[in-house]
Structure 1
Amino acid sequence: MISVCIATYNGEKFIKQQLTSILEQLAPADEIIVSDDNSKDNTRNIIEELNDNRIKIIDGPGMGSPTKNFEQALKHAKGDYIFLADQDDVWKEGKVSICMKYLKDYCCVVSDATVTDGDLKETSSSFFRLNNTKYGKWYNLLLKNGYLGCCMAFRKELLNAAIPFPEDTPMHDIWLGNVAAFKFNVCFIPQSLILFRRHGHNSSSTARKSTSSLKDKINFRYAICKGLIKL
């Protein structure tokens, strides 16, 4: 069984297109867990109008935190395999089947993505190249984080090890990726499996151009290391 976890907040503009691209690839027994963090727009109604019993909407924590909102969704996931998705992207055909092949040998996979603007016009054919994403747990922890949540899928054992998130977790995907790398194994899939809208409001910090100070970057890496030591 597959669980797709999505954290939504005021996502009415793109959520239907994203959910449709996901549902087309899921089996009848799979599920989509949507944690909606008190959206003020029509997000929830749009999801309900899809009228698909594989979609389960739960109330988010109401804290304005994408990390806490994703954690809420993950806590309700029942699947043996979990995919993360943002509310504003589009899954390419074959994403699920390709990831599942790699998940036979790896606990966590991160695929490449085609980067687009808000209208899905391509701005880069490879997020990996744009971000200088590379394999290596120390590289990703200390130099350049490459764990992009909307491109991640993993086995249930990673979720069991990573939940609950430490209180000072900088972002959900950074934490999950590092737990996978240091406790299990990770594969970076070179194929682009999603259309990744990059518009400044993405859920993952990896998706945005960093404005963090050196002090902030050191602090978030310290927080990750502290959490890993406690596992």
Structure 2
Amino acid sequence: MTKVSVAICTYNGQKYIAEQLQSILRQTRLPDEIVICDDNSRDRTVEIIQSTFKEHSFEKFKIEINKPGLRTIKNFEKAISLCSGKWIFLSDQDDIWNNNKIETMLKALKWNTLLLFSNGRLIDQDGNDLHATLWEHWGFTEEQQKRWNNNPFAFKDLLINKNFVTGATVLLNRKILKKALPILVPNAYYHDAWFALHAAASDGLHFIRDCTINYRIHSEQQVGISRKGNDMSSVFSDDNISNEAFKQKIQKQYYNSTLQRKIKTLKRILFRK
């Protein structure tokens, strides 16, 4: 059986982490390991994590505590790098997974999938249905979905940070880590777009229309829909690069593969019957 990991990042998440972990531990297909990187929480987050695993008799987990904190993006980088599974699910600390999320997404994989993402239902801080979805909020319309079925279009959008991927719905093939780690992005460019960009560049970005999670909106989110203000100190590291340097790096890294795709497309046009 293919090994499946879940990478979770936590920080002062005592309010919702138990409910999120319980939803993962109720999966119809359990993960083979859960890796949690806590960014030096000052509340009971780690204590609650340990008691939840004990309650469910789940022993295939490890917790790393960052001292000092790495901030959100580098924390995800660390959690992902510590996973040993072929397939790595990313998880926030405050959502609720559908019981069949892992099973559903594994069944949707294609031979070339490097990153698979899904839709999600929006709920409020108390878990009430807001009767809206992530894709509706981000404007990932039918037209945009048709465009993104063509990975070169998705690559162009992602290069300018036009992103429709929500990290909490992402499933990664560990093959992508060779090119996508370490994460080095400009401010306001998040890890979900980063991994999606690399997947699209290699023609391995896919999505399913299913809502696989309940995505919680609340005032304490570090990133996400309710994030407000310009203080990104808890999210981005100090080694960010400029937008221009970022674009040059990515275009240089994937110039040959992009060129090869253009040649193949041209050949199909010229020699089709």
Pair in the same fold by TM > 0.5: yes
Distance 2:250 2:108 in 1: 25
CA spacing shift, 1:85–1:29, aligned 2, 3 Å: closer
Q: What is residue 216 of structure 1 aligned with on the other side? A: none
**Post-superposition offset of 1:23:** 1.7
CA deviation digits over 1:135-176, x for unaligned, max 9? 233234336311210010011111222111126473221211
How many residues matched?
Answer: 224
SS at match of 1:125: strand
Which 5+ residue runs of structure 2 have no aligned equivalent?
149-153, 231-240, 254-273
Larger Rg: 1 or 2? 2
**Post-superposition offset of 1:62:** 2.7
Q: What is residue 53 of structure 1 aligned with on the other side? A: 59
Distance 1:36 1:177 in 2: 24
Distance 2:183 2:126 in 1: 34
Q: Percent identity among equivalent residues?
A: 30
Distance 2:116 2:31 in 1: 22
Distance 2:31 2:121 in 1: 29
Q: 1:158 aligns with which of 153, 156, 176?
A: 176
Distance 2:121 2:99 in 1: 13
Q: 1:121 aligns with which of 125, 128, 132?
A: 128
Distance 1:220 1:22 in 2: 37
Which 5+ residue runs of structure 1 have no aligned equivalent?
213-218
**Post-superposition offset of 1:20:** 1.0
CA spacing shift, 1:97–1:183, aligned 2, 3 Å: same
Normalising to structure 1: TM-score of the pair? Answer: 0.86
Q: What is residue 186 of structure 1 aligned with on the other side? A: 205
**Post-superposition offset of 1:208:** 4.3
CA deviation digits over 1:70-124, x for unaligned, max 9? 1111110100000000000000121111111222332211100001111111223
Normalising to structure 2: TM-score of the pair? Answer: 0.74
CA spacing shift, 1:168–1:13, aligned 2, 3 Å: same
Contact 2:12 2:45 in 1 (8 A): yes
Q: What is residue 77 of structure 2 aligned with on the other side? A: 71
List structure 1 segments (4+ residues) > 3 angstroms apart after TM superposition.
Answer: 26-29, 167-170, 200-205, 207-212, 219-224
